[in-house]
């Protein structure tokens, strides 16, 4: 076989050399050599491992041999000892030595039993801990301690030289002593478990009191601290939820409140001495079987019983009944501390911040109050209350509050009221911050400036075709019907009026006004939802001024921003195109006009809280006292009349906390409303004054040019459009005579055009919707321009020597009178609207208005008089 194998290998080698090149043969050689080396290494490791195993096995066999020999020697020794004891028993002993031997044996037996008691104690304690019998485990530890101390007494009856035969004693006591900390820890951990019976907590408290030597005051504090840990765990779990919602916070608050109620109830059951019944804690800790039954298996345990009774006497002397006042004060301190923790930051956040609206705050309060009044929460204490009061209790928390807390204070007031009021203020702050951010006046103004178009000249601007703002010609198809303010039917007239207003204001002003109204309404409704509570009177006093202050601050911020934009416009006069300045000033004026006269909720918030009744309930009383509608502040707004009509036509009744409180609120509006209206009016007039000034200048340029080009004023013959008027004169000697006088029947066309263009411009920016004071100021500016133009015209004529003819003078007189009569509103009624709305005006302002009117009138009369003096009445007779 070897020869065959060798010849086969030779043939394979020969075939390998024939079929493959040298390089591949070398690769085969290197691979073969590597495999040979790997096999050698594997064989070497295998042999070495087996050798080490063999050595280990030999060592194990030697150890087994020595151990067997040692066991055999010990068994032989035990056998010899037993044999020696049996031999000694068979030998007769003197009678005098029998008594000492029996006494010694009894002593040894007593020591052995006590040592066995200590040896059995760990197992006994473990069993008690596993069965949650913590007081029994503590008592076993105390008894084992007494047994050990009795064994170790140097002057005791036991022969302590014999104790040297029990070296296990010291080690065993160390094991037993280590259970003290375990019993204390397990008992305290038991207090942290939820859902147990009050008896289980009493057992744990009694075990801690026994093992740690605590008095009842300390035990009460320990119990309350454990419940505080419950509360913190609940709050931390809810606050740690990144997706916490209002329902999460409400659920956490209700859970915490139930913990507080159950804790107070169990404090009463555990510690409060009511009538002749002993509190449960005292029953548990002081209850114990007879001492003779506690040291089973120990012969003659007199010393241990004495020590145990001494311990019980000391325990009873320390465990005194707590006074009711002390329990009440401790519970109130604990309650306030828990309330502070509930409303404080947890993991860097306030849990109440998850409640984002007044409606949710109201829902939270409702849930919390339902929890306080619920019998299910205090189900475990109903039997105790029944035993105390002798009957079933319908409102258990009220009874527990009377017994334990000694008062009728509401948990809501102590814990939640201030926190919820602060949260409502934060919601109000957030709402008005959103309002300030939403009203981006600067952004809108920049958009208007960017789209105002290229620079236009006055003629082009004044002859343009208006594409918007012509309120009179608003097409009905483009008018969107506005929803009813109250009730189920919309008033067509109000819909049309709102459509006209929206057309006048334009999309941006309407959007900003609606945003402000919407946000104000949302904040107001949130507050009213929160006010729907038995605490409404307290909240009204605190939150109504706060809401009004925040509303005023927010709107004042917008007013400051508009004032800044107006200052920029006045500074830009002459450097910016008039079209941009005019468009921005008109936008600001319309926005202020919309805020002042057509905002629905600004006057409501800053007005009397009585008007909030509409938002406090979906339906209100059918008839309300007429005094409700006599608030001067709200009556200054057109909205008040419609609000009054809407509320008085309601046909349903609904009473609520908020409604009753609001109807009894002060009817006077916030003084900040007058201040806000005053600022708005001043800014509105200032905004339109830019437009008035620019347009008056442009129209006066056209009028001045047309007047200077009128050659008919120098003509001596009547012009077209003149009429002859016959004047009869009676004379005493010749009877009556007639005189024909030619007078102009129409003003000059350029004067009529001047006034018509002014009317068109008024109409193009709002027409009848405009505030009357703006129109009056425009008229005043125009009449002043007319007076100035004619005075300059006449002085220029006189300086150049070109005199007007009498026909021209008559035409000029008619033009001046006609223009003065058309524009007379600006002279005699200027600021009438403002003075009618204003509640108080200084004497200085009345004097200033009188001076303004007299100056305009005197200027017109003086101009007419100077022209009439240039007429020659004698020429009229010829």
Q: pLDDT tens across 166-192, in order? A: 777 778 888 889 999 999 999 999 999
Section 3-26 average pLDDT: 69
Is a pLDDT exceeding 70 seen at residue 366? yes
Write the burial class of residue 764 (CB in 10 Å: 0-12 exposed, 13-18 middle, 19+ buried).
middle
Average confidence score pLDDT of the chain: 79
* Angle CA 61–66–71, to nearest 5: 125
**d(C-alpha 588, C-alpha 36), whole Å:** 100
Percent of the chain with pLDDT over 90: 23
The conformation of residue 574, written as its DSSP 8-state character, comes to T
0.85 cut: is pTM over it?
Answer: no
Q: How would DSSP label each residue in 15-55?
A: HHHHHS-HHHHHHHHHHHHHHHHHHHHHHHHHHHHHHHHHH
Q: pLDDT tens across 228-245, in order? A: 999 999 998 888 777 778
CA distances from 567 to 29, 445, 517, 578 (A): 100, 13, 27, 15
Q: pLDDT tens across 497-546, in order? A: 777 777 778 888 888 999 999 999 999 988 888 888 888 888 888 888 89
Is a pLDDT exceeding 90 seen at residue 27? no
* pLDDT reported for residue 732: 58
Is a pLDDT exceeding 60 seen at residue 876? no
Section 356-371 average pLDDT: 91
* pLDDT reported for residue 730: 67
* Angle CA 303–304–308, to nearest 5: 120
* pLDDT reported for residue 259: 94
Residues in the chain: 878
Residues 6+ apart with CB under 8 A from 827: 779, 780, 783, 820, 853, 856, 857, 860
User: 58 versus 618: which is more confidently predicted?
Assistant: 58
Section 97-108 average pLDDT: 65
How many whole angstroms from its chain centre is CA 580?
42
Read off the tokens for 612: 């909030």
Q: What pLDDT band is residue 334 in, cutting at 50, 70 and 90?
A: very high
* pLDDT reported for residue 862: 85
Q: How many CA atoms lie within 13 A of 742 on its CB side?
A: 14
* pLDDT reported for residue 337: 93
DSSP E strand stretches across 166-219 = none
Q: What pLDDT band is residue 829 in, cutting at 50, 70 and 90?
A: very low
**Three-class SS of 419-450:** HHHHHHHHHHHHHHHHHHHHCCHHHHHHHHHH
Is a pLDDT exceeding 90 seen at residue 867? no
Q: pLDDT tens across 118-168, in order? A: 888 999 999 999 999 999 999 999 999 988 888 877 555 554 555 666 777
- For the chain, the first-to-last Cα distance in angstroms comes to 173
Is a pLDDT exceeding 50 seen at residue 583? yes
- Give the three-state DSSP class for 350: strand
Section 743-769 average pLDDT: 86
* pLDDT reported for residue 193: 93
The torsion defined by the Cα of 434, 439, 442 and 443, in degrees rounded to 10, comes to 90
- Contact of 379 with 262, CB cutoff 8 Å: no
Q: pLDDT tens across 685-717, in order? A: 899 999 999 999 999 999 999 988 888 777 777
**d(C-alpha 406, C-alpha 324), whole Å:** 9
* pLDDT reported for residue 489: 43
Q: Which one, of 614, 622, 660, 616, lies nearest residue 640 by Cα?
A: 614
Domain range summary for the chain, segments of one domain joined by +: 2-89, 100-191+280-320, 215-278+321-421, 469-693, 710-730+737-877
User: 13 versus 470: which is more confidently predicted?
Assistant: 13
């Amino acid at each position: 076989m070897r020869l065959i194998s060798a010849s086969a290998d030779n043939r394979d080698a020969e075939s390998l050399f024939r079929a493959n090149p040298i390089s591949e043969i070398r690769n085969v050689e290197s691979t073969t050599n590597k495999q040979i080396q790997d096999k050698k290494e594997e064989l070497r490791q295998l042999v070495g491992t087996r050798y080490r195993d063999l050595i280990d096995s030999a060592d194990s066999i030697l150890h087994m041999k020595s151990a067997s020999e040692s066991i055999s020697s010990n068994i032989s020794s035990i056998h010899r000892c037993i044999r020696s004891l049996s031999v000694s028993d068979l030998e007769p002993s003197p009678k005098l030595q029998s008594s000492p031997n029996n006494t010694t044996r009894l002593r040894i037996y007593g020591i052995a039993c006590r040592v066995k008691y200590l040896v059995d104690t760990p197992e006994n304690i473990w069993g008690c801990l596993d069965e949650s019998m913590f007081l029994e485990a503590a008592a076993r530890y105390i008894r084992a301690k007494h047994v050990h101390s009795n064994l170790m007494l140097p002057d005791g009856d036991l022969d302590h030289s014999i104790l040297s035969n029990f070296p296990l004693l010291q080690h065993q006591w160390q094991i037993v002593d280590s259970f003290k900390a375990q019993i204390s820890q397990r008992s305290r951990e038991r207090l942290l478990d939820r859902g147990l019976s009050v008896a289980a907590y009493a057992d744990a408290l009694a075990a801690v009191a026994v093992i740690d030597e605590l008095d009842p005051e300390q035990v009460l504090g320990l119990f309350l601290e454990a419940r505080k840990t419950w509360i913190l765990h609940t709050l931390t779990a809810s606050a740690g939820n990144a997706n916490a919602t209002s329902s999460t916070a409400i659920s956490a608050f209700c859970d915490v409140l139930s913990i507080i109620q159950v804790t107070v109830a169990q404090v009463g059951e555990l510690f409060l001495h009511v009538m002749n019944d002993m509190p449960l804690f005292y029953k548990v800790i002081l209850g114990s079987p007879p001492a003779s039954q506690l040291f089973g298996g120990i012969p003659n345990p007199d010393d241990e019983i004495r020590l145990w009774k001494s311990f019980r006497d000391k325990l009873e002397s320390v465990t005194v009944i707590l006074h009711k006042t002390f329990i009440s004060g401790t519970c109130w301190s604990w309650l306030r501390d828990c309330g502070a923790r509930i409303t404080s930051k947890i993991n860097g956040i306030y849990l109440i911040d998850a409640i984002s609206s007044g409606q949710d705050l109201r829902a939270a309060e409702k849930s919390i109050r339902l929890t306080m009044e619920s019998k299910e929460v205090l189900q475990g204490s109903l039997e105790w209350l029944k035993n105390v009061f002798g009957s079933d209790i319908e409102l258990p928390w009220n009874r527990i509050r009377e017994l334990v807390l000694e008062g009728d204070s509401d948990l809501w007031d102590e814990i939640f009221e201030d926190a919820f009021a602060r949260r409502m203020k934060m919601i109000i702050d957030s709402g008005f911050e959103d309002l300030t951010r939403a009203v981006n006046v600067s952004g809108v103004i920049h958009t208007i400036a960017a789209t105002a178009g290229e620079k236009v000249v006055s003629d082009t601007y004044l002859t343009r075709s208006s594409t918007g703002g012509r309120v009179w010609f608003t097409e009905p198809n483009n008018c969107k019907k506005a929803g009813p303010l109250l009730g189920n039917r919309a008033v067509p007239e109000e819909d049309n009026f709102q459509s006209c207003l929206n057309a006048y204001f334009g999309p941006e002003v309407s959007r900003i006004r609606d945003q402000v109204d919407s946000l104000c309404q949302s904040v107001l409704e949130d507050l009213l939802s929160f006010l729907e509570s038995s605490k409404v009177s307290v909240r009204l006093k605190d939150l109504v001024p706060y809401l009004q202050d925040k509303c005023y601050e927010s709107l004042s911020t917008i007013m400051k921003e508009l004032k800044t934009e107006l200052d920029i416009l006045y500074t830009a006069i002459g450097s910016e195109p008039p079209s941009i300045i005019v468009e921005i000033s008109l936008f600001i004026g319309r926005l202020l006009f919309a805020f002042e006269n057509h905002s629905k909720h600004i006057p409501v918030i800053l007005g009397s809280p009585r008007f909030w009744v509409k938002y406090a309930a979906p339906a209100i009383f059918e008839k309300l006292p007429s005094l409700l509608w006599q608030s001067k502040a709200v009556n200054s707004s057109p909205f008040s009349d419609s609000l009054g009509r809407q509320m008085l036509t309601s046909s349903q009744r609904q009473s609520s906390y908020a409604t009753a409180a609001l109807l009894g609120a002060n009817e006077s509006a916030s003084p900040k409303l007058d201040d806000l209206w005053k600022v708005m009016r001043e800014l509105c007039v200032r905004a339109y004054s830019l437009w008035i000034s620019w347009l008056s200048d442009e129209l006066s340029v056209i009028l001045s040019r047309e007047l200077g080009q009128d050659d008919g004023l120098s003509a001596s013959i009547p012009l077209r459009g003149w009429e002859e008027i016959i004047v009869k004169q009676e004379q005493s000697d010749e009877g009556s005579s007639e005189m024909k006088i030619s007078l102009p029947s129409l003003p000059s066309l350029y004067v009529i055009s001047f006034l018509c263009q002014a009317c068109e411009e008024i109409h193009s920016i709002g027409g009848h919707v405009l505030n009357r004071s703006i129109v009056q100021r425009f008229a005043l500016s125009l009449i002043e321009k007319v007076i100035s133009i004619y005075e300059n015209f006449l002085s220029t004529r006189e300086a150049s020597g070109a005199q007007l003819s009498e026909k021209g003078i008559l035409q000029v007189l008619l033009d001046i009178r006609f223009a003065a009569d058309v524009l007379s509103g600006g002279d005699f009624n200027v600021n009438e609207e403002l003075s009618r709305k204003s509640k108080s005006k200084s004497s200085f302002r009345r004097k200033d208005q009188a001076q303004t009117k007299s100056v305009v009138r005197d200027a017109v009369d003086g101009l007419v008089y100077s022209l009439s003096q240039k007429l020659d009445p004698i020429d009229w007779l010829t």
